[in-house]
Structure 1
């Protein structure tokens, strides 16, 4: 089947695309790429701030999709499958380079704090707060970053997140708690700083 087949022109469902990919239809691979490339790039950049590495990792997972298409499961959530594949690929590349990741958190993400702390940050509009919170995010382990991404930005359940991370639900709760607790500690320190030194 050529790229310009009737199925492609009729905008087939994701289920159909996945089935066609498993059957060796190249148009399906290209359509899946177009559907998810932006989400994958944003997700990859939220895990590691190296654009070249992220783009290479995305390319690799699509190469693998094509090379191992006959071994793919028949029923999957394509977006979650691609996210998990990209996360694994990025972590593998970071391991090869034997260096800690530099996490980039997209500027338009909401900060995961409770309403009181959120009001504090919004009311200050101070570059020091923004910088310190971003640094705190950047210093979180990549698995904590990943669990926050799935739970709060992709709106996945704890059960789905645990499956993506290949850990049990209790461990997922623990990772999320540690990440949020680390951010709250930074907010608390900033609150004390502004209380004593700015008269707030």
Structure 2
């Protein structure tokens, strides 16, 4: 467990005991990440904020019955995803959510990096367009894997799929990127995506 995870686990333990300061610290630590994740499913900012609010109200109300998650971040991502899916489902009677369904959209995105030349700029724009052609679940797994740096086990837990399915889903996504960009290997597609999203995550985590 990383120092970051360990600190948040300590906050979680304190919050469960009724420590309001620990509770608010968790809220401030994860609000931006949760908001950013929710925004990939819907552009309805009010809905996302309502879901995050509902999540933390439920946490405080049910704190005495909560366990000790291995990853606080994973627990919050999974919880927000479930709440958001239920609210999105109620917005349309035509919505059906199934394990292998892409009925709920997900649009992966990243901020532009510092551009060194026109070729790099063109490559980033091409990659952006390629990603937007992928099915929603493939875009989501790319986001969770390369932006959040989650393991396959963590991704499977959040997306409510088997670990083997997470491997297969990411492989399909990387294969599509490889073919669309004409790359020589899936490993090259993985390297490019990892570089782009890692830099985006670092920039967003750095105070301006």
Alignment RMSD: 3.1
Give the number of the structure with larger relative contact order, counting CA–CA contacts within 8 Å between residues 6 or more apart: 1
Q: Which runs of 5+ in 2 are unaligned?
A: 1-5, 96-102, 183-208
Query: Does structure 1 conserve the Cα–Cα contact (< 8 Å) formed by 2:78 and 2:157?
Result: no
Query: Does structure 1 conserve the Cα–Cα contact (< 8 Å) formed by 2:138 and 2:170?
Result: yes
Cα separation, 1, equivalents of 2:124 and 2:145: 28
Distance 1:52 1:187, change over 3 A: farther
Structure 1 residue aligned with 2:37, among 43, 50, 53? 43
Residue 161 of structure 2 corresponds to 167
Cα separation, 2, equivalents of 1:50 and 1:121: 34
Cα separation, 2, equivalents of 1:126 and 1:23: 47
Please list, as runs of the form range in 1=range in 2, the aligned pairs for 1:84-163 lying within 5 A after superposition.
84-98=78-92, 99=95, 100-108=103-111, 122=120, 124=122, 129=126, 132-133=129-130, 135-137=132-134, 140-141=135-136, 143-163=137-157
The answer to whether residue 69 in structure 2 is matched with residue 66 in structure 1 is no
Q: Which runs of 5+ in 1 are unaligned?
A: 1-11, 111-119, 189-200
Distance 1:25 1:160, change over 3 A: same
Residue 123 of structure 1: CA displacement? 6.2
Larger radius of gyration: 1
Would you say how many aligned residue pairs link Structure 1 and Structure 2?
Answer: 165
Query: Does structure 1 conserve the Cα–Cα contact (< 8 Å) formed by 2:132 and 2:139?
Result: no
TM superposition score normalised by structure 2 = 0.65
TM superposition score normalised by structure 1 = 0.68
Deviations 1:110-169 (A, max 9, x none): 9xxxxxxxxx97364797x477436415xx22x333322221111122222223333222
